Amino acid sequence: MAPSNRTSIHGTWTGRWTFILAAAGSAVGLGNIWKFPYMVGEYGGGAFVLVYLICILLIGVPIMIAEILIGRRGRSSPANSMEYLAKEANTFPQWKALGVMGAIAGLLILSFYSVAAGWAISYVFEDFGGESANYYGEKFNLFLQDGSQLIFFHSLFIFITAFIVARGVIKGLEAWINRLMPILFVIVVLLCIYATQTGAFLEGVAYLFRPDFSKINATVVLAALGQAFFTLSLGMGAIMAYGAYMPAKQNIGSTALSVAFLDTTVAILAGIAIFPIVFANNLEPASGPGLVFVTLPWAFVNMPLGVIFGKLFFVLLSIAALSSAISLLEPGVAWLVESLKTNRFIASGILGLIAWTLGIFSALSFNILSDFTPLGDRNFFDSMDFLSNQVLLPLGGIFIAIFVGWVMKKNNVLEELELKDTLILRIWFFLLRFISPLMVAIVFCSAVFLGVVT
């Protein structure tokens, strides 16, 4: 059996490794280098890491395989791929809404993701010359109060993202991913080597890998699952869009495993780079979102070559954010190009502008709009984060699993995976049909109805 031989009008990745690099570029982002370390700190070290790894393997990888499969068989934007596959399965055309919802979720995420990416870019220009431990706390607060600076860096970031996407799959996405990802891996490794010189390397590593099982509770499991989902870029069609550009001969299962492996490796390496620095300076690992913007800069001030490595760290964060942001815009841009028959510059300009405008509200939610709380007591930035990560992505994930697990004809699924009815396939199918949707539904309900995960 061979996969379908349709091709995408947007092009096909030219290199053998490009899909893996592109999907890893989407997956590795602020989620790995900013969020993962501070969640490890907040949820108690090794116990959280262990649950996170289990979630990646049992829920993340099966859904990622399903997303790639839909994209590659549909060979279009997520919305049109869903429409095509719904027709192929003789079922409701309304399944297309899943792809449309993904494109909208991408814009919502991009709008606030870009504001946080702007913080990272601005720290590249930091001279790491603060005088006290409080200095960076105050500095970060002052920065958040300064709406015009936040908007400046947010605008810069959206502009670069939209420009790369406008250049197209080969000249834009592939060309930039091929440049950015090797730099990213080199910087992560350099920072880890640097961490070995801090004197607290083993303490940092033990913190990550020695699980204290008494710390595992429902909140930890829910947080780990939510993070596994976000970090693999699942549920909104980013991986689906990239799957549409994947050569027919590439094997989907092993590719998904490689992407998950790379993503997890970078998250763990980011932890290995950060915690020894935190412990060597007697700082608090559980300092929340401020860990890399407040705690870490003060650590760099006190270390030899701290200025160079501090800057490198924030270059790393900015690159990781950029390669993810591209994948947030691509599903919507590909869809506009297909449905309006317009060119990519116009499509990416329009959607970039929408994300930019929404992002302005996020940038201002830390200062003049701080009293504006659209969802519960969350400001605009947190509301967008909640709506996309806790509502739209999990919903998308559940329906993707249901579509491939229950709605598509099994023969077509097998054909696209190039697999016979083997044990491995049965395990994947079982996870996809039962475990993934159920677990994600539990997280979704607890987040939305009980407010356990924030």
Residues that bind ligand PFF (CB under 6 A): 26-27, 29-32, 106, 109, 230-231, 233, 236, 238, 324, 327-328
List the one residue out of 200, 349, 220, 381 whose CA is nearest residue 278: 200
Give me the least distance between CB of 114 and ligand PFF, in Å please: 12
Give me the least distance between CB of 227 and ligand PFF, in Å please: 8
Give me the least distance between CB of 328 and ligand PFF, in Å please: 5
Rama region for 378: left / alpha / beta (φ>0; ψ in -120 to 50; rest): beta
Please state, in angstroms and rounded to a whole number, the distance separating the CA atoms of residues 208 and 448: 29
* Residue-by-residue DSSP string for 350-373: HHHHHHHHHHHHHHHTTTTTTT--
Residues linked to residue 378 through DSSP beta bridges, in sequence order:
375
Please state, in angstroms and rounded to a whole number, the distance separating the CA atoms of residues 228 and 27: 10
Which one, 106 or 130, has the nearer CB to ligand PFF?
A: 106
Place of tokens 């993503």: 263
| 380-386 contacts, C-beta under 8 A, 24 or more apart | 381/112, 381/115, 384/108, 384/109, 384/111, 384/112, 384/358, 385/112, 386/454
Which one, 233 or 436, has the nearer CB to ligand PFF?
A: 233
Which one, 51 or 120, has the nearer CB to ligand PFF?
A: 120
Chain residue at closest Cβ approach to ligand PFF:
31
Sign of the torsion angle spanned by Cα atoms 33, 35, 41, 46 = negative
Provide the token pair at 433.
């049909």
Give me the least distance between CB of 115 and ligand PFF, in Å please: 14
- Residue 234's contacts (CB-CB under 8 Å, 6 or more residues apart) are 60, 63, 64, 67, 393, 396, 397, 400
Which one, 327 or 412, has the nearer CB to ligand PFF?
A: 327
Which one, 69 or 200, has the nearer CB to ligand PFF?
A: 69
Which one, 233 or 281, has the nearer CB to ligand PFF?
A: 233
Give me the least distance between CB of 263 and ligand PFF, in Å please: 8
* Residue-by-residue DSSP string for 415-440: HHHT--S-HHHHHHHHIIIIIHHHHH
Which one, 187 or 283, has the nearer CB to ligand PFF?
A: 187
Give me the least distance between CB of 230 and ligand PFF, in Å please: 5
List the one residue out of 25, 62, 18 whose CA is nearest residue 262: 25
Give me the least distance between CB of 129 and ligand PFF, in Å please: 29
Which one, 106 or 276, has the nearer CB to ligand PFF?
A: 106
Cα–Cα separations (whole angstroms), residue 435 to 52, 61, 391, 419, 440: 15, 12, 19, 21, 8
Please state, in angstroms and rounded to a whole number, the distance separating the CA atoms of residues 259 and 257: 5
Q: At what angle do helices 252-280 and 175-196 cross, to 10 degrees?
A: 40
List the one residue out of 160, 125, 161, 159 whose CA is nearest residue 143: 125
Give me the least distance between CB of 363 and ligand PFF, in Å please: 19
Give me the least distance between CB of 318 and ligand PFF, in Å please: 12
Q: State the Cα torsion 358-440-452-384 to the nearest 10°.
A: 0
Which one, 161 or 295, has the nearer CB to ligand PFF?
A: 161
Give me the least distance between CB of 325 and ligand PFF, in Å please: 8
Which one, 113 or 128, has the nearer CB to ligand PFF?
A: 113
Please state, in angstroms and rounded to a whole number, the distance separating the CA atoms of residues 390 and 439: 13
